[in-house]
């Protein structure tokens, strides 16, 4: 999983844009951690911070300079601290690395040996400095483009406030890496400056710094820095909060405040709705949020619906709406990817027409060639049965949206096989169950699904999205089929 996906997964899991700076600053260490051995006290404090915040943050950001200032024991402390951070939470090393000559070895050490996920870099030596860090496809860099230090204004605002250097850094650095590879670090208390950067780089992740200075307005900062989807902005936990004995309570309060402001901003002017959960299960389904979102945007409906097969179900599923909701569509693609990464294939094929957008997204994400069997063969032109390039003997995984009877997906698979391709696996988003996977297996295919209809209905019932009558209608229908 690359940094971008890992970060988004943790944002979805924690519903938080907060990150924590893990800085062993002796001047900030609470007195209760005082110890004859300074390193021991700092280690205990850092471990406390991680334990108290892991459920409420999207990333951790250790500042390399603090560890280096403590000498060899400090670097040993850094490695111990990295080892304590839960594996699913991204680590952004705040190195501000700026030396071209050591960039290659630095990238290898930090990405390969230390296993950090992203690093901050100085832009002054240009793309040549950044390139050695970008050869690691699953890692990322954050380019320092703006700092709140008053003494830097003479440089950052040069040659004029209308065309300052920091905006040139933003424009230039966008050419160095993709949005998944390269983000921006912005230290400012000025919402206008942040808005200018966001306008130039609407697609980039911005890691904000220095936003908690006295007099700054959090809502203005968020309104300026959030992207059109209501995210894309990483927000630091105030450093002085990390010394509180009840840190978990304090960060939960901050977490709620920020999400409330985000919601207000989204309602005030977003052109793309962003969904937030309103429930919490003790034993939640791994795709709980996705199930609830699908229901909330109208992809899952309850009532008496006649299906394409002629059967009447007490529910109807329409996944075509997801392509108009980038937040949900991205989660659907990631869910498919979790299955596909464990399968072996040369190409992937979508079944017209419902799964073609999904197959296209997966093709781009997995860097895997896509083909598709035509639903009907044209009476003109080349009269191809299969669209796209392929070679007989290759293995194709078939992607579809919903598995009801299995008829359409097997017809598509048979078309592919008639062209000399091998089809072993069929991956769908929702399985209506009733033994259809067994039917696939009887015909030589192994079926995989992200969700089953039972999982969806059970989760919706637990969440209060559907009532007892609707749940009972589904149960009786499932038993009767």
DSSP secondary structure string for all residues of 32-53: GG--SSHHHHHHHHHHHHHHHH
In whole angstroms, what is the distance from residue 118 CA to residue 181 CA?
9
Asked if 78 contacts 193 with a C-beta cutoff of 8 angstroms, the reply is no
Locate the DSSP E strands across 125-232.
140-146, 182-187, 206-209
Residue 309, pLDDT score: 62
pLDDT tops 90 at residue 141? yes
pLDDT tops 70 at residue 375? yes
Element (H, E) at 338: helix 326-340
Residue 283, pLDDT score: 58
In whole angstroms, what is the distance from residue 171 CA to residue 174 CA?
6
Residue 304 is classified by DSSP as E
CA angle 130, 136, 139 (to 5 degrees): 85
Residue 161, pLDDT score: 78
Residue 470, pLDDT score: 87
CA distances from 247 to 12, 41, 96, 237 (A): 22, 17, 28, 11
**How do 233-236 and 300-306 pair as beta strands?**
unpaired
In whole angstroms, what is the distance from residue 362 CA to residue 473 CA?
35
Residue 157, pLDDT score: 84
> What is the percent of the chain with per-residue pLDDT over 90, rounded to a whole number?
60
| Residue 83: both structure tokens together | 């080892």
Determine whether 96 is an active site residue: yes
- Residues 6 or more apart from 81 whose CB is under 8 A from it? 22, 24, 43, 46, 47, 50, 62
Residue 377, pLDDT score: 57
The mean per-residue pLDDT over the stretch 201-220 comes to 87
Q: Look up the CATH number of domain 3-270.
A: 3.20.20.70
| Residue 30: both structure tokens together | 């609470």
Asked if 423 contacts 429 with a C-beta cutoff of 8 angstroms, the reply is no
In whole angstroms, what is the distance from residue 472 CA to residue 456 CA?
14
| Residue 23: both structure tokens together | 């800085």
Class of domain 287-479: alpha beta
Closest CA to 238 of 278, 277, 211: 211
When pLDDT is cut at 50, 70 and 90, the band that residue 52 belongs to is very high
pLDDT tops 90 at residue 148? no
Residue 381, pLDDT score: 47
Residue 157 is classified by DSSP as T
pLDDT tops 90 at residue 311? no
pTM of the complete model: 0.61
When pLDDT is cut at 50, 70 and 90, the band that residue 454 belongs to is very high
Numbers of helices and strands, H then E, in the chain: 18, 16
Asked if 43 contacts 126 with a C-beta cutoff of 8 angstroms, the reply is no
When pLDDT is cut at 50, 70 and 90, the band that residue 320 belongs to is confident
Residues at the binding site for 5-phospho-alpha-D-ribose 1-diphosphate are: 374-375, 378, 380, 400-408
Q: Which of 386-395, 418-427, 455-464 has the lowest mean pLDDT?
A: 455-464
Q: Percent helix, strand and coil across the chain, each rounded to 5?
A: 45, 20, 35
pLDDT tops 60 at residue 325? yes
Q: Where are the domains of the chain?
A: 3-270, 287-479
Asked if 284 contacts 264 with a C-beta cutoff of 8 angstroms, the reply is no
pLDDT tops 50 at residue 270? no
Residue 355 DSSP SS3: coil
- Is 270 exposed, middle or buried (CB count within 10 Å of its CB: 0-12, 13-18, 19+)? middle
Give pLDDT tens digits for 236-248: 999 999 999 999 9
The mean predicted confidence, pLDDT, of the chain is: 89
Same fold, 3-270 and 287-479: no
The mean per-residue pLDDT over the stretch 285-289 comes to 81
In whole angstroms, what is the distance from residue 23 CA to residue 425 CA?
48
Residue 288, pLDDT score: 84
Which entry of 6, 61, 80, 96 is annotated as an active-site residue? 96
In whole angstroms, what is the distance from residue 290 CA to residue 292 CA?
5
Give pLDDT tens digits for 328-339: 888 899 999 999
Residue 210, pLDDT score: 87
CA distances from 300 to 24, 294, 370, 433 (A): 49, 6, 28, 16
pLDDT tops 70 at residue 279? no
In whole angstroms, what is the distance from residue 440 CA to residue 431 CA?
12
Asked if 148 contacts 188 with a C-beta cutoff of 8 angstroms, the reply is yes
φ and ψ at residue 22, rounded to 5 degrees = -100, 80
Place of tokens 């079926």: 447
The mean per-residue pLDDT over the stretch 439-462 comes to 93
CA distances from 340 to 320, 334, 448 (A): 21, 10, 9
């Amino acid at each position: 999983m690359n940094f971008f996906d890992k970060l988004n997964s943790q944002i979805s899991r924690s519903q938080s844009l907060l990150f924590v700076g893990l800085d062993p600053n002796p001047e900030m260490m609470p007195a209760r951690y005082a110890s004859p051995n300074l390193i021991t006290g700092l280690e205990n404090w850092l471990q406390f911070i991680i334990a108290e915040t892991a459920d409420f943050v999207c990333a951790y950001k250790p500042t390399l300079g603090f560890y280096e200032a403590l000498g060899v024991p400090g670097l040993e402390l850094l490695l111990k601290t990295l080892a304590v951070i839960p594996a699913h939470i991204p680590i952004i090393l705040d190195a501000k690395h700026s030396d071209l000559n050591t960039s290659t070895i630095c990238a290898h050490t930090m990405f390969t040996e230390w296993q950090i996920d992203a690093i901050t870099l100085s832009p002054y030596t240009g793309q040549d400095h950044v390139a050695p860090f970008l050869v690691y496809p699953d890692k990322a860099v954050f380019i320092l483009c703006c700092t709140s230090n008053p003494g830097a204004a003479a440089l950052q605002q040069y040659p004029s406030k209308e065309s300052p250097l920091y905006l040139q850094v933003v424009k230039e650095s966008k050419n160095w890496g993709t949005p998944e590879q390269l983000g921006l670090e912005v230290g400012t208390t000025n919402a206008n400056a942040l808005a200018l950067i966001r306008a130039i780089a609407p697609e980039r992740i911005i890691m904000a710094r220095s936003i908690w200075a006295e007099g700054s307005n959090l809502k203005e900062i968020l309104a300026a820095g959030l992207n059109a989807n209501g995210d894309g902005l990483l927000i630091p936990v105030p450093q002085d909060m990390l010394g509180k004995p009840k840190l978990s309570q304090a960060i939960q309060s901050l977490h709620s405040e920020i999400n409330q402001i985000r919601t207000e901003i989204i309602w005030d002017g977003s052109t793309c709705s962003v969904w937030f959960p309103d429930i919490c299960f003790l034993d939640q389904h791994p795709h709980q949020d996705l199930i609830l979102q699908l229901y909330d945007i109208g992809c899952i409906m309850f009532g008496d619906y006649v299906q394409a097969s002629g059967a009447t179900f007490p529910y109807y599923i329409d996944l075509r709406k997801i392509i108009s909701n980038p937040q949900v569509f991205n989660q659907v693609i990631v869910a498919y990817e979790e299955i596909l990464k464990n399968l072996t294939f040369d190409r992937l094929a979508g079944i017209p027409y419902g799964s073609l957008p999904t197959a296209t997204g997966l093709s781009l994400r997995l860097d895997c060639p896509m083909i598709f069997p035509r639903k009907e063969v044209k009476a003109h032109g080349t009269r191809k049965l299969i669209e796209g390039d392929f070679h007989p003997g290759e293995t194709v995984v078939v992607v579809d949206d919903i598995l009801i009877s299995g008829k359409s997906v097997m017809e598509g698979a048979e078309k592919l096989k008639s062209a000399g391709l091998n089809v072993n696996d069929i991956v769908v988003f929702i399985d209506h169950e009733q033994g259809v996977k067994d039917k696939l297996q009887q015909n030589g295919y192994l079926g995989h699904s992200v969700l089953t209809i039972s999982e969806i209905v059970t989760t919706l019932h637990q969440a209060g999205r559907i009532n007892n009558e609707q749940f009972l209608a589904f149960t009786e229908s499932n038993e009767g089929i």
